[in-house]
Chain A
Amino acid sequence: MPILSLHFDHAGRPTLELYVGVSAAEAEFRPPYPPVPVRALVDTGASKTNIVRWVFDRLGLSPVSQIPVHTASTGLTPLLADVYAVEISLGGAMTGLLATDLDVVAAEELSGSGVEALLGRDILGRGLLIYDGLERRLTLAIEPPATSFPSR
């Protein structure tokens, strides 16, 4: 199980480098394409991982569903958002596969937060998260995904 120790960024936020790529399922049907590096914010307030739309455009992906989303400003009525399927890996010094076929929510923008993704509880829920505010450090241990199909 990869164990990641992250220092907070200059704004005091737990961020990390991720690679977002074509889902394993789609990769079986198209030529390989390099993953896109993104900066992600560890966000326990997001029930699913959110990624800005240009990442999907760069990967040449099409949506695979839609889902209602409640945000801080949607009020009682959620907004529909496109869903994409991606593969997510850790970037930076520590590498490791986090998900091979993850359904993530597309966002036009993430409130000017300076990141391209919110790493939500769909991923965080698979591991242990320790938030050490005194040391300005976050430790993340996540179980790698089970692969039920032969690897590519």
Chain B
Amino acid sequence: MSGTEHDASGGPVPSDRDAWPGPHPDEALGGEASLPPDFEDNLTELIDTAENLAGDQVAAWGAIKAEVERRIAHWQEWAPSGTGEPTREGVEHDRPGQNTGGVMPTHPGAPTQARRQFVGFDLEVATYVRLKPELLSRFPGKFVVIVGDEVEGPVETFREALRAGYRRFGLGPLFVKQILTVEPVVEVTRDIVPCRS
């Protein structure tokens, strides 16, 4: 049926496939077969929550649409060269923050990409140094997560930073920083050998 999809139970689900900018996520992800059975229900629940939080359906949908478009743009940015489209095939990149492809998660809430490789924190340190004056003035004491030149946060705690980082960037190295005027230094009175990858 044109313009209509079916959920796992066979019921019709409204679709805006024709209006979708670029490839539909279901197509890029390999179709509905790759989605968990309760995906549609959870998605509907999330959208309901967003509408309730915003208190304004139009505003909520604007924010949702903007976030979806931002993610699609980010996703397409890291597509293998020559395809012009995002893909889920495992492709190794040399920059942190990109989707490296992978298999579907076996654990609820797991991101859909393979673990990103650690290539050092030089880029993340540079990003933090560049943004630190503004972050310090606006969010002192809070935490941010940086991958490449992308920043997630600020959030209140280290744990929240980890969760936000894994949710946005997937598993792999994260650069979590608490926004502090004076950078903390660890003291160990023993003669240990610190590990720096």
Contacts and interface: CB of A to CB of B under 8 A. Distances in A.
Interface of B: 105-107, 109-111, 115-116, 118, 121, 125, 157-159, 162-163, 165-167, 170-177, 183-197
**Which of A29, A66, A103, A106 is most buried by chain B, counting CB atoms within 10 A of its CB?**
A29
Nearest to B159: A101
A111 B158 CA distance: 29
**Which of B166, B175, B189, B192 is most buried by chain A, counting CB atoms within 10 A of its CB?**
B192
A24 interface: yes
Chain A contact-residue range equals 35 or more
A65 B157 CA distance: 14
Given A30-B171, A68-B183, A23 B189 contact: no
Contacts of B170: 29
Contacts of B110: 29-31
Contact of B167 (A29, A67, A113): A29
A110 B188 CA distance: 11
Contact of B157 (A23, A83, A148): A148
Contact of B196 (A72, A82, A103): A82
A66 B196 contact: yes
A81 interface: yes
A105 B194 contact: yes
